[in-house]
Structure 1
Amino acid sequence: MKAIVYTKYGPPEVLALKDVEKPMPKENEILIRILATAVNSGDWRLRKADPFALRLFFGLTKPKTNILGGVLSGEIEAIGKDVKRFKVGSPVFGTTGMSFGAYAEYKCLPENGVLALKPNNISHMEAAVIPFGGTTALHFLKKANIQRGQKVLIYGASGAVGTAAVQLAKYFGANVTGVCSTLNIEMVKSLGADNVIDYTKEDFTQNGETYDVIFDTVNKISFYCSLKSLIKSGILILSAAGMSEMFQGIWTSMTSTKKVLTGVISEKAEDMIFLKELIEAGKLKSVIDRTYPLEQIAIAHTYVEKGHKKGNVAIVLTDK
């Protein structure tokens, strides 16, 4: 099968299209023919080993896993003898977890993985871009116990996590303020945001407003200025936090009435089923900025790494 392989950390050019062995499903696994995947911030960070500490987990001098890609949508081509949840031919979407491997034509995953049947009202391309931002936003909003009527500010509202967070917070009944650049204001409004702040013209931490929850999806705002814009018992969500922000968050949660949520998300099949139901009910939609074929994934990485994409960048695999 065709796959995008990298054997050393570095710029997008380390990604190369190669022929590799097609996987075979174990007794509890399904074999998915991948029709679409996506390039997310986690992909380029792993490609570069940025921050350097990633090497401690994924390979000190070179990557232990040679095929990146954490999300997919496709069709089940084969199943192991013990599989009960899925059938051959079923369309599925989901995440690959720490096994990665979605930058390829095929991927084996356990039937109890983070998977669900693909929503019947969207394409594989639209389905593939949902899991990264969708599961991240859902994890943190549920952890913050979002309540109807709460004021929620989402910084980086036009990115993969941000576009999902705006829609999910609205679904949970929050009053949502999105923060983005001038070019993305109308798009964020179209997702249901009640208010939109253009960060190039206004600093939300200086406008006197306070919020029940502030969700920083891009790790680009001042930690302490954000705390000042929270109510006394408010929650600061840092989904893209570095180590320093994590330690600051632990200290703040221990020493004040405000709470900071960071860390690695937990993904469950139930989350994918929930997102599927929202999509089919018209409550959640994909936001796709650009689309590339698998062989142009280095170009996609270059674009995503610049940090200015609207929503998601999809990779479509052709059937050869």
Structure 2
Amino acid sequence: MTKKSMKALYQEKFGGPEILQIRDLPIPEPKDNEVLIKVEAAHMGNGDQVARTGNSPWPLMKIPAKIIMGFFKPKIKVPGGEFSGVVERVGKEVTQYKVGERIFGFTDMQFGAHAQFVCLPQTAPIATLPDEVSFEAAAAIGGSNAQTAMHFINVANVQPGDQVLINGASGGIGRVATQLAKAKGAIVTGTCSAQNSALVLALGADHTIDYHKTDFTQQGKKYDVIIDCAGFLPWRKVEPVLTPKGRHLLAMFGFSHLFKQRQTKGKGGKQQLCVLAPASPEKLKEISNRLVDGTLKPIISHRFPMNKAIDAAWAYENKTREGCIVVLPQEWNAK
């Protein structure tokens, strides 16, 4: 019997968005412990760019990324990590999800969500999606990004009145961290481009700094928490602008940051913390609750039907956006 096919974004080699194709592929068959998900919306993000180019901007991840993505040709043929959709079928050992159930989350290092269907183990970082939350919102908030931001805020122990700086506040992690820090009652400053200043203020930030014109480490203002989503700020630059017990948290870091973390952690003074966020369905449930109560609000810049998914990759590559880019795999030729 001929397998039914689906539309999917596909790559046979590494490169820019020009190497992407839209192909007809067989709809995957769920294994005994897997769920087949009809993808309603998927986020176009940094992980997809890494999978497409085979290069990680994080020095510590360059070799692991090559091992996962491939050294010469991509092992990952279909990109797409953060998504939402509906359970289409379940394997005979699946107990956590039912056919017809709305879910969201991310595929982790498997990718594959830029397609009309994807198969995942029931233990993957996915969770049920309340009816009050749209598929687009659930995909756009970014399950992986949102979990990372939530972990940052918890590790930093943000308190009401804390001066919090989010470096890279308009990015996927930064947008969520800005909202969560503000919900904690912090006074939030976000660094971003002038183009994205209005967006960051709309997310709740009290102040913005145009990083093209101003180095926040040279302004003399001190912060209780600095969350670095955008780069690898060295301790020598950050330490002078931290309060006596201030915390500097990094999403990406090198060996020097790990060394400084070992020197500063647990000493009762200023700390550098290299943060890795473990994935868990429980955190996704909390994220969905915050989407329902309005604490978290995704900003969607562009929506692309499946036949325009390559244009979505170009929009991300060229940074022609102020917010999230969402691909809608079940739509075709939408206007």
TM-score scaled by length of structure 1 = 0.91
Which residue does 2:159 correspond to in 1? 147
Q: Distance in 2 between matches of 1:115 and 1:56?
A: 25
Alignment of structure 1 residues 229-244 onto 2, 5 Å = 229-239=241-251, 241=252
Cα deviations by residue, 1:1-37 (Å, 9 ceiling, x for unpaired):
1111112111112211111121122222211100110
Q: Is the 8 A contact 1:159 1:310 kept in 2?
A: no
1:79 counterpart letter in structure 2 = V
2:80 counterpart letter in structure 1 = G
Which residue does 2:286 correspond to in 1? 274
Gap change, CA 1:224 and 1:303, over 3 Å in 2: farther
Q: Distance in 2 between matches of 1:161 and 1:309?
A: 16
1:267 is displaced (CA, Å) by 1.0
More deviation, 129-138/299-308: 299-308
Q: Distance in 2 between matches of 1:101 and 1:19?
A: 14
More deviation, 174-183/30-39: 174-183
Q: Distance in 2 between matches of 1:142 and 1:291?
A: 32
2:88 counterpart letter in structure 1 = E
Q: Distance in 2 between matches of 1:85 and 1:319?
A: 28
1:221 is displaced (CA, Å) by 5.1
1:307 is displaced (CA, Å) by 4.3
Q: Distance in 2 between matches of 1:172 and 1:41?
A: 27
Within the candidate set 38, 44, 67, 1:39 is matched to 44
1:201 is displaced (CA, Å) by 4.1
Within the candidate set 63, 69, 73, 1:58 is matched to 69
Asked if 1:122 corresponds to 2:127, the answer is no
Q: Is the 8 A contact 1:159 1:309 kept in 2?
A: no
CA RMSD of aligned residues (A): 2.0
Asked if 1:134 corresponds to 2:146, the answer is yes
Q: Distance in 2 between matches of 1:261 and 1:70?
A: 26
1:220 is displaced (CA, Å) by 6.9
Alignment of structure 1 residues 57-136 onto 2, 5 Å = 57-130=68-141, 131-136=143-148
Unaligned regions of 5+ residues in structure 1, if any?
none
Gap change, CA 1:264 and 1:304, over 3 Å in 2: farther
Cα deviations by residue, 1:158-187 (Å, 9 ceiling, x for unpaired):
122111110111223322111222232222
Asked if 1:206 corresponds to 2:211, the answer is no
The number of aligned residues is: 316
3-state DSSP of counterpart to 2:35:
strand
Gap change, CA 1:311 and 1:227, over 3 Å in 2: farther
Q: Distance in 1 between matches of 2:296 and 2:231?
A: 24
Gap change, CA 1:291 and 1:227, over 3 Å in 2: farther
Q: Distance in 2 between matches of 1:137 and 1:117?
A: 20
Cα deviations by residue, 1:241-270 (Å, 9 ceiling, x for unpaired):
2xxx42121121223443333354311101
1:89 is displaced (CA, Å) by 0.9
Alignment of structure 1 residues 236-275 onto 2, 5 Å = 236-239=248-251, 241=252, 245-256=253-264, 257-262=269-274, 264-275=276-287
Cα deviations by residue, 1:81-131 (Å, 9 ceiling, x for unpaired):
222222211111111111111011111112222112223233211211111
Gap change, CA 1:295 and 1:263, over 3 Å in 2: farther
3-state DSSP of counterpart to 2:254:
helix
Within the candidate set 307, 313, 319, 1:295 is matched to 307
Q: Distance in 1 between matches of 2:94 and 2:47?
A: 30
Identity %: 36
Query: Following TM superposition, where does structure 1 have runs of at least 4 consecutive aligned residues deviating by more than 6 angstroms?
Result: none
